[in-house]
Structure 1
């Protein structure tokens, strides 16, 4: 005696699934993600040591 779920799974009325291929090679997604990471790292690197730089006071006269 089969259960109704097993008999449903073996039924031929369920259509076969179609394969969907990716638009690019699977390694291209990793390469794109790595390039984005490097671009964001370059932006971060361009702002290094900006918080610690004091403003220049040259040319300003101080009256006492």
Structure 2
């Protein structure tokens, strides 16, 4: 009985062809999605330096907050 089931299952899998080619679309979609997300993340690089007058004003306003403090470390 088990041998018959295995033979039927083996016969069915032979007619499907290469399964990897059928599922190759999923890694391609994932790669495209990750590349798109990486481009979005890279587009936010160096945003603070695009407006130096704003960053300078913030640094002057919060100068005491930006100074390192002694924590005993």
- TM-score over 0.5 for the pair: no
Structure with more contact order per residue of length (Cα contacts < 8 Å, sep ≥ 6): 2
The TM-score with structure 2 as length reference comes to 0.39
The TM-score with structure 1 as length reference comes to 0.44
- Between structure 1 and structure 2, the one with the greater Rg is 1
